[in-house]
Structure 1
Amino acid sequence: MTSTVAPPGVLSPAYRACTLALSGTFVLVAFAGLALSTVMPIAVQELDGLGLYALAFGGFLTTGIIGTVLAGGWADRRGPAPALCAGLLCFSGGALLSGLAATMSVFLVGRYLQGFGGGAVTVALYVVVGRAYPTGLRPRMFSLITACWIVPSMVGPPVAGVVAETLSWHWVFHGIAFLAVLALVLLARPLSRLRTVGAPEEEGGGGEGGPVSGLGVVPALAVALGAGLLQYAGTPSAPYRLPAAVVGLVLLVVQLRPLLPAGTLRARRGIPSLVLLRGVAAGAYFTIETYIPLMLVNERQWSPGAAGMSLTGAALTWFAASWLQGRPRLPWPRERVVLVGALIHGAGAALTLSGTLRAMPAVTVAVGLLVAGFGMGLLLPGVGVLTLERSPTDQQGRNSASLQLSDSLSSVLLVVVCGALFNMAHVRAGQDTAAFAAVFGTALAVAAAAGPVARRITPPHPEEKNLATL
């Protein structure tokens, strides 16, 4: 009689310490993101910076580009621990500075420092998953990571809303600074056990990818500068807006391509399309998520806590979808699951746009975010799993950085465009139906492009790959 030995899980003795530390870190990161999004409308209005609302989010992502690129190369050379530690410290310092801000300019500087740290943290965490877990456990680990958003999604927005209403929004940022330091303490021991190079079991060479090297720092700085100039050009009443926009576009066009896998902007099959899909889907979702709290507070007179609960619902549907895609035996190939997620995400964006109409109940907007969140729960973990599977160990940092770069840059550009549209159509709080319709309509147009890109994420056949390199 033969006995069947169950394969190790993410909580088996070999992986338990790392899994618990990563889970604790993601719980803290999730709480930070949801809490800050909840209080952002209050902060910018108190600092008389409503016209710079988009810049508070877009600037965060712009500096995140630099952190992403630096952390990707650093993690490939030295392992993820140094990049992750530095990123958490920067994130904590930025949150503290924003919490102490008495002017919008100081607040934005803090947000930029947060963004730099956040970009480094995201890439480093991806590399930890790639280095610490074998291929068979990564889908389950991504599902667990998504599950870490459940409690923060239920607790974060209402707690942040109560703190902002009873004390001040400043204290929300101070609390986030403390939590980032706590995350660093939780990760110290598991990170010390990770090898600098190599990965578990079957990892070796091969896979898709380019030369073994980190992404270029100089192109990253140029792209971040270009994105920053475009955000400046979208700021109301800013001098020299046209020259800033022209220089920003030139920097992006010239310097972006070296930072992405060859063929990304042409949706070349395989990793290039995975990187492009991440950017298209995440940019549309981030834009919707950014403006929903502002719309519900300003247009429909919801309280910040109630508006933040729409983020809670989206986190729950995101988790439900991620749990489904993380099952050991999927009924469909993972590529098809990603495609279905892209289509559902687009349907949610369409529902959100319809919710801007006065004839529709305000809850329609929140329901649209719930649907979009479910689509992202299918799409985003699948993109991460497929990218790690197809990347050699010594390129996991580079390709993870490319994913995050695509995510951040797409979100920055879309927030810049939508911020400019919002400022052009803005009348006053309570009379901005057209402004929000322009924002959500633009996000829908971008989300609709995710479906065609998702059809190209399968690797090219050998003969196609050879022709592509000629």
Structure 2
Amino acid sequence: MHAATGTPGVFSRLYRARTLAISSTFILVAFAGLALSTVMPIAIQDLDGLGLYSLAFGGFLTTGIVGTVLAGGWSDRRTPAPALCAGLVLFSGGALVSGLADAIVPFLLGRYVQGFGGGAVTVALYVVVGRTYPSALRPRMFSLITACWIVPSMVGPPIAGAVTHRLSWHWVFYGIAALGLASLALLAGQLRCLQPNGDEDGSRPSGLRALPALAVALGAGLLQYAGAQSGAHRLVAVAVGLVLLVVWLRPLLPAGTLLAGHGIPSLVLLRGVSAGAYFTIETYIPLMLVNERQFSPGAAGMSLTGAAFTWFAASWLQAHPNLSWPRERVVLAGALIHAAGAAVTVSGALRGMPAVTVAVGLLVAGFGMGLLLPGVGVLTLDYSPIDQQGRNSASLQLSDSLSSVLLMALCGALFNAAHVREGQDATAFVLVFATALVLATVAVLIARRIAMPHTEEKKNHATV
């Protein structure tokens, strides 16, 4: 029982089966990401595709953008059930195609199909939470979703490594495909309670459509490609990519997002800016500890595990029923703590500072994100009319993915420009972490604008 409201808890008899089904699916997504990242170098080398290594990850994110956008619109026009089922089938099918591949092209094709399905699954699950749990339980559900990443972060890589060693990397993909279908079976019974929005004929136009989604995904892919190249042709890729984003991104986001309009526009922008900053820090800290401070890969990876725990601790705290702060203030506090952690990582990149400083910075930043991201998700659902929850959840995921892709491309270019040699790249790492700090500071300013100015204007701010 929810202590503050008397509402049955997420594991009460009323919600237990649904909560377990949703949690198991998020665990699948987390486990798949961590396990497949572990075996990817082996798979790519075995298929003689080392030069296409970045496409195995970048393509997954790019097609995920399309899946995110289309599933959001589909969920609003009908229910999230068809989008969720289709997403899980594609996620499993893509994993199976990659597992069966004996050449790099079909392997990458499977990864792209899997990315499309994964993007659809995440958005559809957000809408299921919004449709089937009362507002009082949503913070606890977002805390539980965060917890679903803890166990996979500890067991995913070792299990994937053991399976690859004893059998082959192919069996890791087979296992992911089987787990996806098992999640679909668990969810099937829980989706029957979802009711359509009363607009089954599709007469209400959706702003999230295939053409803008494909154009934005292509633009992001071109910018990512350009960030990894050194020839003059990358300028053409940058120009075309930027044009595609400028022309087609706006229809996919709530009006006023790029200007940080109050309410949902600022929530969407905050999600992207803060996630991009954190993902950059998380990506480059292990590389710095290994290359600059001679840590072993295992020791460097412990910083990521520690950050996962601080993230979960903060997420649990923000969901506590006796928390007296308004949720908008909790999100602002998370943004401030996240920025403080980013500042610590910048100082830790300097040669005169102890190596542990950057790890501490990641722990602090993780705690801030544990306060910030669940709050952003909860407020977005609370502010959204029921027939806009899919659209706005998709905007959150789009902002997250696109910001991470673009920032990684920028930081990759900065790092390559300042790179000297292994052990002498302190300046390059300072540039990368400073870029993340700038974005984290911008996120603090955006977090001050997430409250709706007037209750009666909620619906206006949730539409394009």
TM range (shorter): 0.7 to 0.9
Q: 1:177 to 1:5 in 2, by over 3 A?
A: closer
**219-228 or 189-198: which moved more?**
189-198
Q: How does 1:44-443 map to 2 (within 5 A)?
A: 55-99=55-99, 108-161=108-161, 171-197=171-197, 213-237=206-230, 240-300=233-293, 302-426=295-419, 432-443=425-436
The alignment's C-alpha RMSD in Å is 3.2
**SS of residue paired to 2:8:** coil
In structure 2, what residue type is equivalent to 1:80? P
Per-residue CA distance 1:328-368 (angstroms, 9 max, x = gap): 23221110100010111112222233343444444433332
Q: CA deviation at 1:173?
A: 4.2
> Structure 2 vs 1, CA of residues 50 and 345 (structure 1 numbering), >3 Å: closer, same or farther?
farther
- Distance in 2 (alpha carbons) for counterparts of 1:93 and 1:302: 38
Moved more, 365-374 or 339-348: 365-374
Identify the range of structure 1 (148-157 vs 18-27) with the bigger mean alpha-carbon deviation.
148-157
**In 1, are the aligned partners of 2:73 and 2:208 still within 8 Å (CA)?**
yes
Give the SS at the match of 1:264: coil
Report the TM-score when normalising by structure 2.
Answer: 0.87
Distance 1:310 1:462, change over 3 A: closer
Which segments of 5 or more consecutive residues in structure 1 lack a partner in the other structure?
199-210
User: Gapped runs of 5+ residues in structure 2?
Assistant: 199-203
Contact persistence 1:88–1:117 (CA under 8 A): yes
C-alpha distance 55-303 of structure 1, shift in aligned 2 (>3 A): farther
SS in 2 for 1:267: coil
**Alpha-carbon distance in structure 2 between the residues aligned to 1:382 and 1:214:** 25
What residue number does 1:27 align with?
27
For residues 164-195 of structure 1, what are the alpha-carbon distances to aligned partners after superposition, in whole Å with 9 as ceiling and x for unaligned? Answer: 66766555444333332332222121123322
From the superposition, tell whether residues 365 and 157 of structure 1 become closer, same or farther in structure 2 (CA, over 3 Å). farther
The 2-side partners of 1:290 and 1:48 are apart by 25
Asked if the contact 1:38/1:307 (under 8 Å) is kept, the reply is: no
Q: CA deviation at 1:112?
A: 2.9
- 1:304 deviation in Å? 4.7
**What do residues 393-437 of structure 1 show as CA deviations (whole Å, max 9, x unaligned)?**
011111111111111111111111122223334455555444433
Q: Distance in 2 between matches of 1:164 and 1:458?
A: 49
Aligned equivalents of 1:277, 1:98: Cα separation in 2? 34
Sort the Cα spacing of 1:85 and 1:162 in 2 relative to 1 into closer, same or farther, 3 A.
Answer: same
Which letter does structure 2 place at the counterpart of 1:315?
Answer: A
Q: Show the counterpart of 1:205.
A: none
Q: Is the 8 A contact 2:207 2:252 kept in 1?
A: no
463 and 120 in structure 1: CA distance in 2 versus 1, 3 angstrom threshold: closer
Render the CA deviation track for 1:88-124: whole Å, top value 9, x for unaligned.
Answer: 2322333344556677666544443332222111110
Higher mean C-alpha displacement, 321-330 vs 349-358: 349-358
Once residues 375 and 262 of structure 1 are traced to their aligned partners in structure 2, the CA distance between those partners, rounded to angstroms, is 27
The aligned counterpart of 2:446 is 453
Name the residue aligned to 1:9.
9
Q: Percent identity?
A: 77
Q: CA 1:355–1:297 in structure 2 vs 1: closer, same or farther (change >3 Å)?
A: same
Deviates more, 1:454-463 or 1:129-138: 454-463
Q: What SS is found at the alignment partner of 2:313? A: helix
Contact 1:58 1:415 in 2 (8 A): no
Identify the range of structure 1 (306-315 vs 93-102) with the bigger mean alpha-carbon deviation: 93-102
**Cα distance change, pair 412–165 in 1 and its aligned pair in 2 (3 A):** same
Name the TM-score, length of structure 1 as normaliser.
0.86
Confirm or deny: 8 A CA contact 1:158 1:306 kept in the other structure. Answer: no
